[in-house]
Amino acid sequence: MEYNTQREKLEITEYGRYVRQMVDFIKTMPDKTTRTKAANAIVHAMMTVQTGSRDMTDYKRKLWDHLMLISNFELDVDSPYPLPEPDKKMSPEILNYSVPYEVRFRFYGRYVEKMVKKAVEMADGEEKNELVRLIANTMKKLYLTWNKDSVKDELIIEQLNILSQGKLALDPGYVLQDTTEFMKNNKPQQKQWSQQNKKKNRKNNYRKNK
């Protein structure tokens, strides 16, 4: 299980760690055209978080600005807007969570389920297909984070089918990212957390012995 103390600080906390993981995933894609399609899909997913901001000026441009900030300005894509300044202060509106929201699978969380709902509402096309792929890979990573060291793609596909009520499916023959890649990416965070705990324990022991 991955605890909050193991995780890197989020640039914009309102979008949650799931959007950040999707951004990290597309940064590894070697083809710029594919990355750009995936970035457009993520912007659509971010709309599920920015529910109260639809009428603001340059709404979509602000989402792209947020996307670049989340990626630490390391995402090489063909953005429809000029890149924002790295030192520009950007933050979404405060979200209202007063309405109870029951999630179907706790380890995926509300954001993944909202992204699934958004994907269902999108028109058929490559952008929708790319978002579905990103959601499925994010689900696999989250499953591995909260549960076991391995999981079959068939289970992720089945749960995606449940969350979308049978309205979303991956392209025939599409293979999710390999489990070993997900686990390899998690190890540096776990190592850092372990080192931080050791330092903290040594400091506490020193105080007790003084």
- pLDDT: which is higher, 188 or 181: 181
Cα(first)–Cα(last) distance of the chain, in Å? 35
Mean pLDDT rounded to a whole number for the chain: 76
Query: Binning pLDDT at 50, 70 and 90, where does residue 6 land?
Result: very low
* Dihedral sign for Cα atoms in the order 5, 147, 188, 45: negative
User: Which residue reads 């950007």 in tokens?
Assistant: 90
User: In the predicted model, is pLDDT for residue 100 greater than 90?
Assistant: no
- pLDDT: which is higher, 66 or 191: 66
- Burial pattern 23-34, b for ≥16 Cβ within 10 A else e, equals bbbbbebeeeee
Question: What are 57-92's pLDDT values in tens digits?
Answer: 578 888 899 899 999 899 999 999 988 877 665 555
Share of the chain above pLDDT 70, in %: 66
- pLDDT: which is higher, 123 or 51: 123
Distance of alpha carbon 145 from alpha carbon 149, whole angstroms:
8
CA-nearest of 141, 124, 171 to 2 is 141
Distance of alpha carbon 57 from alpha carbon 60, whole angstroms:
9
Distance of alpha carbon 192 from alpha carbon 186, whole angstroms:
10
Domain map of the chain by residue range? 4-197
